[in-house]
């Protein structure tokens, strides 16, 4: 189903509406949120200080900014745990690892250390699902499926919301099956990412 998701009708939301709805829904979650991330590059918000540091290739500053946000990462994971929920991020990674992912995975390391469940799957293991193009960027919770949308520069610009419970369950099942084949993030980071990082 994931490889056909772009063809399934949904309600288009702009970025503000999407984020407002997600904030509201996350207050009432009792089951896991699944997030599938496939693109090897995104254009992050220009006002993000860690993104600005990355664009300047100031890796020491990148690490410092991420470290300053560690308490927020821990608080979010604890909040989900109290609700009986939790975020499960499945990151598809191509080889060679993109410079964007070298930046992003440093934040993922903090998230994982503070309680967020993250797993990594090599892109070669999803090729059989990508006969008609790359897998979409997806967020699924107990309320709906969100097919996250990006512009041609890979800036987030909203999402399509799909409410059909059968589609939502199929997405959970398919992402869950990929999750079972994936590797926990921290050992992956230590083996594959840490040796590639620039010396701050």
- 156-162 and 11-13 as β-strands: parallel, antiparallel, unpaired? antiparallel
Range of the domain at 95: 2-196
- Give percent above pLDDT 70 in the chain: 99
CA distance linking residue 48 with residue 35, whole number of Å? 21
Instruction: Count how many domains the chain has.
Output: 1
What is the pLDDT averaged over residues 18-33? 92
- 138-140 and 145-150 as β-strands: parallel, antiparallel, unpaired? antiparallel
User: Tens of pLDDT along 85-104?
Assistant: 999 999 999 999 999 999 99
CATH code for the domain of 159: 3.30.870.10
CA distance linking residue 148 with residue 175, whole number of Å? 15
Length of the chain: 200
Q: For the chain, how many helices (H) and strands (E)?
A: 7, 8
pTM of the model: 0.95
CA distance linking residue 23 with residue 26, whole number of Å? 5
User: Tens of pLDDT along 100-149?
Assistant: 999 999 999 999 999 999 999 999 999 999 988 999 999 999 999 999 99
CA distance linking residue 90 with residue 87, whole number of Å? 10
């Amino acid at each position: 189903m994931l490889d056909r998701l772009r063809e399934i009708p949904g309600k288009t939301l702009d970025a503000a509406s999407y984020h407002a709805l997600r904030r509201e829904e996350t207050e009432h979650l009792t089951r896991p949120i699944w997030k599938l991330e496939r693109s090897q590059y995104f254009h992050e918000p220009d006002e993000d200080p860690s993104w600005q540091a990355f664009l300047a290739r100031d890796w020491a500053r990148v690490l410092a900014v991420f470290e300053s946000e560690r308490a927020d990462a821990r608080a979010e994971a604890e909040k989900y745990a109290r609700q009986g929920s939790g975020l499960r991020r499945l990151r598809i990674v191509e080889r060679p690892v993109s410079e964007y992912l070298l930046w992003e995975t440093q934040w993922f390391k903090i998230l994982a250390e503070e309680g967020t469940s993250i797993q990594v799957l090599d892109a070669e293991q999803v090729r059989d699902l990508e006969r008609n193009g790359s897998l979409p960027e997806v967020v699924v919770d107990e309320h709906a499926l969100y097919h996250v949308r990006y512009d041609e520069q890979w800036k987030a610009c909203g999402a399509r919301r799909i409410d059909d419970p059968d589609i939502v369950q199929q997405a959970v099942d398919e992402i869950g099956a990929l999750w079972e084949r994936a590797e926990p993030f921290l050992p992956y980071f230590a083996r594959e990412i840490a040796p590639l990082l620039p010396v701050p």
